[in-house]
Amino acid sequence: MPRPRIGVLALQGDVREHARVLDDLGASATLVRRSAELAAVDGLVLPGGESTVIDKLARAFDLRAPIREAIASGMPMYGTCAGLILLADRIGDGIEGQQTFGGLDVTVRRNAFGGQVESFETELDVPALGAPPVHATFIRAPVVEHVGASARALAALADGRVVAVEQGNLMGTAFHPEVTGETRFHRRFLAKVAAAS
């Protein structure tokens, strides 16, 4: 059985960490910076980083329209932290001119927990993944302020704030499973890729 070809958007952010997890899970990770590279993959990971920078670079590299077209055509995508922001249809506190690729019927708020010094780790119950709880690392993380009718929450903090969502072939987490050795979200994403191909 051929290894799924998974792109990691390599404009900025924690690209290598995602590529390593994907390779360890049996996928063939490819760095995506051009539309031709996007066209050659079966799914795409949008890593953490600076959502405003990734947005600007995606437009500079003429990737915004191809990524939006790939989402519309059903390509599975998984976004972590900034990647979640980029997949959201709405940003509650975006800077002037900031755009997203969209696809997830959610509203997110950037840096919802404060700056770098307010980064934290916690255990999250994720019913869709079963036991044990997910050890989640939040680094200048967003939060999902509103989950629309088309999306569904996968996980929330103890105070009810939603931090993981999915909708069809799209999935987003406010935290970074790629830095803690947690592979179940990537496995769930790869299952979407397998089902879509």
Note whether 46 and 80 are within 8 A (CB): yes
Residue 154: C-alpha distances to residues 39, 118, 130, 166 (Å): 29, 23, 11, 7
- With tokens 């996928």, the residue in question is 27
**Integer distance in angstroms from the first to the last C-alpha of the chain?**
12
Q: Is 176 a catalytic residue?
A: yes
Given the residues 69, 123, 135, 176, the one annotated as active site: 176
Q: Is 17 a catalytic residue?
A: no
Given the residues 81, 166, 182, 186, the one annotated as active site: 81
Q: Is 186 a catalytic residue?
A: no
Question: How far is it, in rounded angstroms, from Cα 148 to Cα 145?
Answer: 10
Given the residues 18, 178, 182, 186, the one annotated as active site: 178
Does the bond joining 132 to the residue before it have cis omega, within 30 degrees of 0? yes
136 is written with which tokens? 């989640």
- 90: nearest Cα among 15, 142, 38: 142
Question: How far is it, in rounded angstroms, from Cα 92 to Cα 5?
Answer: 33
Residue 16: CB atoms within 10 Å = 14
Q: Active-site residue numbers?
A: 81, 176, 178
